Structure 1
Amino acid sequence: MGSKQIAQETFDDAVQENITEFEMDPEEAVREAVQQFESQGVDLSNIVKAVRQPASENGQRQKHQILLTLDALGRAVADSDLAAVAEQLEVFGEQCKEQLAFRSLAGQHGAYSVVFSACQLASGDRETTLRALSTLCALLDGQPDLLDAAGRDLVLRSLRQGREDAELALAGLRCLRQACLKHEQNRQDFVTGGVLPLLTGAILQHRRHAEVVRAAAAALRVMTFDDDIRVPFGHAHDHAKMIVLENDGLRVLIEAARAFTDNSGVLSELCATLSRLSVRNEFCQEIVDLGGLSLMVSLLADCIDHPEVVRQVLSALRAVAGNDDVKDAIVGAGATDLIVLAVSHHLGNPQICEQGCAALCMLALRKPENCHIIMEGGGALAALQAMKAHPQEVAVQKQACMLIRNLVSRSRDFSQPILEMGAEDLITEARAAHRDCDDVAKAALRDLGCKVELRELWTGQKGGLAQ
């Protein structure tokens, strides 16, 4: 994708020129304009690739459909016509959901202030408020910079009012998530505004409402992200600590998971959030003490046919295995056999293969006793089968190489059996195909006793420069 950008007007003018100067039909004119700009390295992801209506008789340029809808919504808000506001919110929200280019164009033309005014006007009318929040959520998708302090207060107010109204809580949670994705400042401002107890409180208050629990867990997880490339570092770790230490987040999530053992969507989100909170040794141990480990092992056994649950449980096991004592607890609970079974059962799923190998890799690290159990359970063979099944997936190749290396680094007796499974060829192929695998592949080959060419990049000695 290109890094250059152009204005919507520039694209529209190019399309119109293709129609008038080169007598192209509208669809061909758009295709030609797209090809022209993309060949120049222009990023068109925020551009509406459609023909604008012809100019009116007085020569005034017509607008794209979403801007016409925005104008209609603005007029309804200005007239305080609640019925018309509700109707136009529905239409505008659906158009925003169609593609980023539509909502980006609308955002550039003042859509946020119009939708925010609609939210204010709808205050007191529950149905219109829900529709307004849904539209705000659609508008913020991919453009969280639009949110201002007043909008943040609106979202927080909806969460507070949502303590008694599950639908209102759900609407607020969805807005919150879109506002905080890839936006560190919004996350910090919401946390300062007291959002964390509102999120754990929503899970407790609406513990029978699956969608609210799922959305609240997702919002908690977003608060631990470090995905805003505009800031040198974020507060992800601090937010995770606050969720656990100040808001009893681990207990809240684990108890919620027990209440939804038959809902794979909710379970996936809860497990994903647990893994984001496993940032300290004591938190990993607390998950075990609260019964989270036994719950995860049960889920792995009972939900083996639900790939998303399996993937998130494996990710959570990988995270809590950062604690050496928890490693032993996981192995003692019989999870290694289930992890191998999960990888074998979902061998065609690269994400499950990656997370399964990564979990076994963590369990084997610095633990020779665990390595014996993993080997006896077929862990090495499963990892090599995953490598064979996904030669182009660098994450799978890398985690499998790291697992093999951990298995043999302190237990060299395993080298020959693993080599007999075809490990050397697979690891060599991974090294050749993926630059990111080079170091871990060399380490695995070295510890397997294979001949590896180790290049000495710099000796620290002075030398002449080649002319």
Structure 2
Amino acid sequence: MAPPPRKAQISQEAFDAAVRENVEDFEMEEGEAIADAVHTFQLQGVDLTGIITDGRGKEEHPVILAVKDLKLAVDDNAGMDRLCEALDKLRLASAGENASIAVRNGAVENAVLACKLLIDENNASYVSTAMKTLLSLLNDEQSKKDFFSSSGCDVILNFLSRHDDSSEISMLSAAVIASSASGSEMLKEEFMHLKADEKLIKILRRYVENAEVLSSACDALKALVSPDDSNVLASNAFKNARTIWKAGGVNAVLETASSNRKDPTLLVTLCATLKAMAVNEEICKSITGDNGLELTLEFVDESAKMPNKLLAKNACSLITQLALSDANKDAIVLQGGCQKLVTLASCYSEDVSVIQEVMSAIASITLRSPSNATKAVEAGAIDLAVEMMDKHPQAPGMQKQTCHMLRNLASRNPENRQCIFLSPTFVHACQLQRRILCCVARPGPGQLQLEKEMGKVDKQILSVPHQPVEEKMRKFRQEASPREGCVKHQQLGRTYVNSTPVSNTLAGKRRVDGATRQKPQHQSNTKRLRSDVRRPPPDPNRAFNGAFFFLAARLRCRERSCRARKRSHPHPARSAKTQSRPATINDRDDNTISTFTALPSDLYVYLAHTQTHRLKLCGQETT
């Protein structure tokens, strides 16, 4: 993904000049002039971060005065007491939105210089003051650039090495690493180059009983392995996670979690850190092998007994990440993970965010695993999904994860489909979220209901704006199998289309340089598309056939209508020669299929798994 566009910036002098112009030329009051200047620059897309807009001049603003005092103390080498006093004054003055003003006027560079003067000091209070000041300033992109250019990473790690016996310095150092590395790829790389991960792992193993230090160290590790810098095209977060895992970081976090099971606040941070580190199957397996899965399921039980929304969400999120490894899915089910997740969702039935994480976890556990899907259904996952979708119709995130879970339950388990889609509550909940379903067909009223639902599909097709996918679909059609008259296995979004009828407009002819010629009769008929080749009978083992052929029939009817309109109202720019020549496969109406591919991918998923009864569609029986 390309970096986001940068906003234009102006200097403080340019803003002050605009205010003076409003006062002198337009005779505005000072407050009105400032408001007009702010509004004008905002309309122009100018970033006013760090600009003084309260009317006080640059010489009178307390943040500017504090930065000047610190600069004087650093330049004059005025002593540790005065230096710390200037640092503390800057920290208090740069609280809140004033931090950006301080950064714009050189506060970070001067704070790092002050820290360098304090490296050889053994007074922990001086170092603590300097670290707190730095921590209050590192909150935007510019401050992190200044921190990097001033060699702030070296200073922090020097503090951490010299004062490793101080819990306060260790906590503040880890907090500075977390704050600066978050959202900055260059600082992540610099800290990893300086072996900051090894120092953080030592902190985890040294301060096992100090929750504040452990929380800061975990935040720092999580910042180093999170790809959260939108200004770079590729991140080294995956590489950093593997490096930290090889250095023993995952094992240290698990040991910390095992020793602090009664601290829910710390457990939330530990679960989030483990999830960020579990970037591949090897690490996921190592977490499970080091008793990490048992701990996570224990956290799920604890959050169900003693309500803790944050712990419940993070524990479920960690289970979702661990379930990305196929080897871990069976382990989760064997330890009663499905039943525990369903119980947890029942305890938090009013909290949509927790339910969403539970549904996501069950969806990951049951993906490509029929046995796990059966266990989830036995645990009550279908009843839970139907109840939650009906109870929270205005929660799209939860509805989406629930649909993914139901898809996994029904994908490879035909016995589960009727349980899901015969529930009127489920259909009603899906309709509320505009999930267009193909209802299960029954004789009589069921067939009418099917027609009604497919009418909604038609409306959905017509409401989708045209998308430029003609070339893609033309290539898609050209990959037709001559032997079977159906399109080969092709991926559309997240769904696989296995049997699409192919037009027989060629009728055994091929176009050569704008003309047509009949193919020699002695050549094999299997190498061309014949007009008498019929669509192969649908395979009863393919759940897609019923709903797909129904849609395909409607699309072909619409295609014939489009052709009729084109014949009755030909395009004026076409030549007579072009109009008279036989139609080829490339001349078919692309809008028909492009609108079909523009449908939401969830629709394909539902259509693939809702037909469990026979339908008579286009004169053929499908299963």
Letter in 1 for 2:74: V
Contact 2:50 2:103 in 1 (8 A): no
Specify the code of the residue in structure 1 equivalent to 2:259.
A
**Which has the larger share of helix?**
1
Distance 1:440 1:351, change over 3 A: farther
Residue 402 of structure 1, CA deviation: 1.1
CA contact (8 A) 2:10 2:46 kept: no
Per-residue Cα deviation, 1:228-254 (whole angstroms, up to 9, x for no partner): 222221211111111112x22222111
Name which of structure 1's ranges 192-201 and 105-114 shifts more when overlaid on structure 2.
105-114
Deviations 1:402-442 (A, max 9, x none): 1111010111222232220533343344456999xx96799
2:132 alignment partner, one of 131, 134, 142: 134
- Gap runs ≥5 in structure 2: 437-459, 465-491, 498-542, 557-583, 591-623
Instruction: Please point out which of 312, 315, 322 is paired with 1:313.
Output: 315
Could you say which residue in structure 2 is the equivalent of 1:57? none
What is the alpha-carbon distance in structure 2 between the residues aligned to residue 24 and residue 341 of structure 1? Answer: 64
User: Taking structure 1 as reference, are residues 442 and 268 closer, same or farther at Cα in structure 2, changes over 3 Å only?
Assistant: farther
Q: Which residue of 1 aligns with 2:210?
A: 209
Which of these two proteins has the greater Rg computed from alpha carbons?
2
| Residue 423, structure 1, aligned to residue 426, structure 2 | yes
Aligned to 1:77: 74
Q: Is the 8 A contact 2:261 2:267 kept in 1?
A: yes
Pairing of 1:333-412 with structure 2 (within 5 A): 333-388=335-390, 391=393, 393-412=395-414
Q: Any runs of at least 4 consecutive aligned residues in structure 1 with deviations exceeding 6 A, and if so which? A: 432-435, 438-443, 446-452
Which position in structure 2 is the counterpart of 1:58? Answer: none
Q: Tell me the SS of whatever aligns to 2:252.
A: helix
Q: 1:164 to 1:242 in 2, by over 3 A?
A: same
Instruction: State the AA in 1 paired with 2:90.
Output: F
Contact 2:49/2:100 (<8 A) preserved: no
SS in 1 for 2:94: helix
- Equivalent pair of 2:134/2:176 in contact (CA under 8 Å): yes
**How far apart are 1:126 and its partner, in Å?**
1.7
Give yes or no for contact 2:67–2:90 (8 Å, CA) kept in 1: yes
Confirm or deny: 8 A CA contact 2:91 2:136 kept in the other structure. yes
Tell me the SS of whatever aligns to 1:50: coil
Call closer, same or farther: CA 1:333–1:72 in 2, change over 3 Å: same
Cα distance in 2 between the residues matched to 1:431 and 1:440: 19
Distance across 1 between alignment mates of 2:545 and 2:335: 29
Q: Is the 8 A contact 1:161 1:169 kept in 2?
A: no
How far apart are the structure 2 equivalents of 1:254 and 1:157? Answer: 27
What TM-score comes out, normalization by structure 2 length? 0.65
Q: 1:115 aligns with which of 111, 115, 119?
A: 111
Query: Any idea what SS the aligned residue of 1:462 has?
Result: helix
Q: 1:19: how far off?
A: 5.4
Partner of 2:41: 37
Once the two structures are overlaid, the 10-residue window that deviates more, 6-15 or 394-403, is 6-15
Cα distance change, pair 111–388 in 1 and its aligned pair in 2 (3 A): farther
Structure-to-structure mapping, 1:68-467, within 5 angstroms: 68-79=65-76, 80-99=78-97, 102-123=98-119, 124=121, 125-143=123-141, 144-147=144-147, 148=149, 150-245=151-246, 247-304=247-304, 305-388=307-390, 391=393, 393-419=395-421, 420=423, 422-431=425-434, 462-463=586-587
Higher strand share: 2
Q: Which amino acid aligns with 1:71?
A: K
Is the 8 Å Cα contact of residues 30 and 55 (structure 2) preserved in structure 1? no
What secondary structure is seen at the aligned counterpart in 2 of 1:303?
Answer: helix
Of 13-22 and 112-121, more deviation after overlay is shown by 13-22
Give TM-score scaled by structure 1 length: 0.86
| Ranges in structure 1 where 5+ consecutive residues have no aligned partner | 54-60
- 1:282-338 per-residue CA deviation (whole Å, 9 max, x = no partner) reads 322222221111111111111231111111111111111112221111111112122
Cα distance in 1, alignment partners of residues 308 and 277 from structure 2: 23
Structure-1 separation of matches of 2:138 and 2:245: 28
| 2:362 counterpart letter in structure 1 | L
Contact 1:257 1:270 in 2 (8 A): yes
Change (3 A) 1:32 1:377: farther
Q: What's the % identity of the aligned pairs? A: 25
